[in-house]
A and B are shown apart, each in its own frame.
Chain A
Amino acid sequence: MVPLSWYLMLAAALFSIGLFGVLVRRNAVAILLGVELMLNAVNINLVAFWRYGDVTSMAGQVFTVIVFVVAAAEVAVGLALVISVYRRRNTVVADELDMMKW
């Protein structure tokens, strides 16, 4: 039997990988890819807690489904922003998007 800790560690590792991607990538699309990894790590936790807690209480699965919705919305708007910026500035490198800095 797999103990809960294994799933939690998997989720933590995946979250850290996603965080690494978000922090170091220069391309805005790649940063969003990292965000997806982090959201998935959260979902693994939610489903694991559902399975290892009270199975008849569906809160874990409901929240997972809601996270799917949030992820979809995030990707839709995030990528639309990237495309919009690309059409105006002709770049998707996050460092060069410094218009709002001053």
Chain B
Amino acid sequence: MTGEQIIFLITAGYTLGSGLMVVTTRNLVHAALWLVATLFGVAVTYALLNANFIAVVQIVVYIGAIAILFIFAVMLTRKDLRDNTPQMNKNWWVGALLAVLTFAGFAFLLQGWSGFSKTAAAIPSEFDAVGALGEALVSPNAYVLPFEVASVLLLAALVGAVYLAFNKK
């Protein structure tokens, strides 16, 4: 087993473990903090995949903004924070079964795929991933339309959320 594999296994175990804590912890602020831990593990996974930009953006956007938003939302709706009612549905085992079945289904489907245990080629030494991403995002024959539509989507989200959270009736 190589060092890279060991690092991957530690990262994966950490990510999945904290992911499990997210869905099982009773205290919602703790769940949000465990989500931060999971997101950090995912960022490490991106770093292992040599996707530097994505790894950093994961931390900036998810931990820096989305997790903060979650914690703020929990504090705003705090009535259910420490109540003693169960945090899970009565028939949680159905959900658990479905989740396990989903995982088994994925595993089964992927097992039959020819590219399943592919290994990665080395990245060309002169390859500038951030520059290539920039070029892909702005050049007209690549992804400039999704780039601009992303802006529209963010605008819609901002307007919609501001309207929703604040319509006083």
- A79: chain B residues within 8 A (beta carbon): 69-70, 73, 161
- A8: chain B residues within 8 A (beta carbon): 106, 110, 116
Interface positions of A (Cβ within 8 A of B): 1-10, 12-21, 23-27, 29-30, 32-34, 36-37, 40, 43-44, 47-48, 50-52, 55-56, 58-59, 61-62, 64-66, 68-77, 79-84, 86, 88, 90-93, 95
If the complex has contacts A23-B98, A56-B127, are A83 and B73 also in contact, measured as CB distance less than 8 A? yes
In chain B, residues 69-100, which have Cβ atoms closer than 8 Å to a Cβ of chain A?
Answer: 69-70, 73-74, 76-77, 79-80, 85-89, 92, 94-96, 98-100
* B117 and A5 within 8 A (CB): yes
- A56: chain B residues within 8 A (beta carbon): 124, 127, 132
Give the number of residues in B that approach A within 8 Å (Cβ atoms): 89
A8 to B110, CA, bound (A): 8
Query: How many contacts between A and B, using CB within 8 angstroms?
Result: 257
- B5: chain A residues within 8 A (beta carbon): 1-2, 6
A80 to B35, CA, bound (A): 19
A3 to B117, CA, bound (A): 5
A27 to chain B, nearest CB (A): 6
> Out of A3, A37, A69, A80, which one reaches B165, CB within 8 Å?
A80
A36 to B27, CA, bound (A): 18
* A40 and B165 within 8 A (CB): no
> Out of A15, A24, A29, A80, which one reaches B161, CB within 8 Å?
A80
> Out of A16, A24, A29, A36, which one reaches B102, CB within 8 Å?
A16
A91 to B61, CA, bound (A): 28
Q: Bits for B134-163, please: 1 = Cβ < 8 Å to A, else 0.
A: 011100001100100010011011101110
> What are 24 A-B contacts defined by CB distance under 8 Å?
A4-B120, A13-B16, A16-B100, A17-B19, A19-B102, A21-B23, A24-B89, A24-B96, A25-B88, A26-B86, A29-B70, A36-B62, A43-B54, A47-B45, A47-B54, A55-B123, A55-B127, A56-B127, A61-B133, A61-B136, A68-B58, A71-B66, A72-B61, A76-B69
